[in-house]
């Protein structure tokens, strides 16, 4: 594929994605060889189609009419882009998990994830992403939503889970997600599984 054709193909994929999407170079590996992709991404960065977040991570800019400026990409989207880049499985934990599930309105000072990859820390704009290695069993055999809920419950602790939280978790899961949650967590710590049964009622 000629370079101009490669650039157009990548541009079309970016334009089809939602505003605010985060990309890595390998997201376009099916369109051209790595060198052609790098050159195309540089062109698209120069013309404003993409914004560079950090090395190898790019963002389809989202403009805020209220602020009159381009807003930073979602830390969670950037974290998952990095995970794709390195082939990691990650799950938000701590305050990050609570925020993403709507159990806390407090924006985390540090976005923390358990991972089967290396211990790493990344910063961009005003966000810091921290990946901490955990046992594979903490991440395997669970869908992303189930793993996220388990991490949120661990953060709250047995005595910190309230009826309001249980109702909230019930409201942010579909029937299919609750069915999977009940099945995938049956070997979790007993109090966590009992709480999950309440969520799934």
Contact criterion met (CB below 8 Å) for 42 and 11: no
Q: Alpha helix locations (H) across the chain?
A: 3-16, 34-46, 75-86, 94-100, 144-156, 163-171, 175-184, 190-199
- In degrees, to the nearest 5, what angle opens at C-alpha 40 toward C-alphas 37 and 43? 155
Confidence of residue 196 (pLDDT cuts 50, 70, 90): very high
Output the six-digit token pair for 131.
């990946």
Mean pLDDT of 135-148: 84
H or E element, residue 90: strand 90-92
Dihedral angle sign, alpha carbons of residues 115, 117, 121, 125? negative
Per-domain residue ranges for the chain? Answer: 3-64, 75-199
173 backbone dihedrals φ, ψ, rounded to 5°: -120, 145
Q: What is the mean pLDDT of residues 58-84?
A: 89
End-to-end CA distance of the chain: 55
pTM of the complete model:
0.89
Q: Is 3-64 in CATH node 3.40.1000.10? A: no
pLDDT per residue over 90-114, tens digit each? 999 999 999 999 999 888 989 999 9
Read off the pLDDT band of 70 (50, 70, 90): confident
**9-21 pLDDT, tens digit each:** 999 999 999 999 9
């Amino acid at each position: 594929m000629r370079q101009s054709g490669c650039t157009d193909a990548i541009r079309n994929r970016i334009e089809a994605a939602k505003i605010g999407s985060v990309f890595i170079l390998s997201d376009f590996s099916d369109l051209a060889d790595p060198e052609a992709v790098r050159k195309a991404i540089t062109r698209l960065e120069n013309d404003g189609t993409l914004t560079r977040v950090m090395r190898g991570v790019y963002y389809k800019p989202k403009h805020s009419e209220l602020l009159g400026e381009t807003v930073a990409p979602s830390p969670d989207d950037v974290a998952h882009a990095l995970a794709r880049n390195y082939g990691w499985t990650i799950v938000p934990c701590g305050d990050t998990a609570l925020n993403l599930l709507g159990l806390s309105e407090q924006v985390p000072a540090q976005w923390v994830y358990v991972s089967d990859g290396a211990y790493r820390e990344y910063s961009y704009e005003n966000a810091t992403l921290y990946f901490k290695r955990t046992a594979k069993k903490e991440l395997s055999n669970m869908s992303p939503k189930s793993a996220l809920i388990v991490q949120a419950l661990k953060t709250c602790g047995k005595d910190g889970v309230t009826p309001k939280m249980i109702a909230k978790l019930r409201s942010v899961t579909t029937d299919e997600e609750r069915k999977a949650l009940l099945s995938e967590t049956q070997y979790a710590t007993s109090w966590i599984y009992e709480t999950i049964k309440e969520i799934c009622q």
